[in-house]
Amino acid sequence: MKSVKEVAIESKIIERLKPYPVCSKLVEFLLADAELKEMQDYANTVSIKRLGYNDHGPVHMRQVTSNAIKLLKILHDGGIKTSLETEEIGTFEDSLCGVVLAGLMHDLGMMIGRQGHEDMSVILALPLIDKTMKAIFPDDMHRRVVIKSIAIESIVGHMSSKKIHSLEAGVMLIADGCDMTKGRARIPLALNHTPQVGDIHKYSANAITHVGIHHGENKPIKIDVEMSAEVGFFQIEEVLFSKINASPAKQYVELYAGVTGQERKRYL
């Protein structure tokens, strides 16, 4: 059964994709896939209960998908073409399909473990991607190949540990970094009371109260992070900023962060 939060984020995703009928059909197919949901749930169990990490399950993967759609649409509104459009090999909707696939599958590798989970995510996602591509594009091999390739690059590149080249993968990288609010740390903090290495990620994420993704003032995208305590700057500097810095979309992003009631710091 899906949680209230999962359903709420799904509603946002569906609403944002209404102008794109093919991508809407694709996301409905994925959200109804029982195997994908089981894999997302188990990835979260391993992440939180076995490894003591933050949420890497169905809520996180849906939120990252929602973030990626929003980021890509802001760039589109600003006249920025995706890599598939620039290379004249695909449409904007094809790019959306690629990041949706990646968003909903990028952390499946957490079913196995943390180290190299982006590579494991690809291995686990491939059968699901192929099944989805054949269902949505049964007679269009070109679109199946192109969208699948963008999705795989976006999954492999979401940790900024590997060089990525497409704008789509760059957007996915930033979308993942933007999901760092306190909700992701709630369960791990409640379950684990013994101090251990890595706690700074949980405590810093718990200080993040809101991450806003907006149209920018001087660049197309503005990311504004609000926190309740300065420990949240760890998330900005060690997670989000490093991901933006490694993204092909970096040139289009303004980044601000600060404690509630205090002046924002501008990173980009």
Shared-domain flag, residues 39 and 18:
yes
Shared-domain flag, residues 26 and 155:
yes
Q: Which residues pair with 254 in a beta bridge?
A: 222
Q: Tell me, letter by letter, the H, E, C secondary structure of the chain.
A: CCCHHHHHHHHHHHHHCCCCHHHHHHHHHHHCCHHHHHHHHHHHHHHHHHCCCCCCCHHHHHHHHHHHHHHHHHHHHCCCCCHHHHCCCCCHHHHHHHHHHHHHHCCHHHHCCCCCHHHHHHHHHHHHHHHHHHHHCCCCHHHHHHHHHHHHHHHHCCCCCCCCCCHHHHHHHHHHHCCCCCHHHHHHHHHCCCCCCCHHHHHHHHHEEEEEEEECCCCCEEEEEEECCHHHHHHHHHHHHHHHHCCCCHHHEEEEEEECCCCCEECC
Look at residue 204 in the predicted model and tell me its pLDDT.
84
Shared-domain flag, residues 202 and 166:
no
pLDDT along the chain (268 residues), means of 10: 94 98 98 98 94 89 98 98 98 98 98 95 98 98 98 97 97 96 52 55 85 96 97 92 96 97 95
Domain boundary among 177, 195, 229: 177
Shared-domain flag, residues 19 and 149:
yes
Look at residue 181 in the predicted model and tell me its pLDDT.
83
Shared-domain flag, residues 189 and 252:
yes
Shared-domain flag, residues 223 and 97:
no
Shared-domain flag, residues 72 and 165:
yes
Look at residue 192 in the predicted model and tell me its pLDDT.
54
193: CATH: 3.30.300
Nearest residue to 17 via CA among 101, 88, 126:
101
Residue 126 amino acid letter: L
Domain boundary among 177, 208, 238: 177
Residue 54 amino acid letter: N
Look at residue 185 in the predicted model and tell me its pLDDT.
47
Domain with 167, as residue range(s), is 4-177
Shared-domain flag, residues 162 and 199:
no
Nearest residue to 57 via CA among 14, 97, 11, 104:
104
Shared-domain flag, residues 49 and 105:
yes
Look at residue 189 in the predicted model and tell me its pLDDT.
43
Shared-domain flag, residues 200 and 253:
yes
Shared-domain flag, residues 200 and 98:
no
Domain boundary among 160, 177, 194: 177
Shared-domain flag, residues 231 and 159:
no
Kindly report the number of other CB atoms within 10 A of residue 85's CB atom.
Answer: 16
Please tell me the total count of domains within the chain: 2
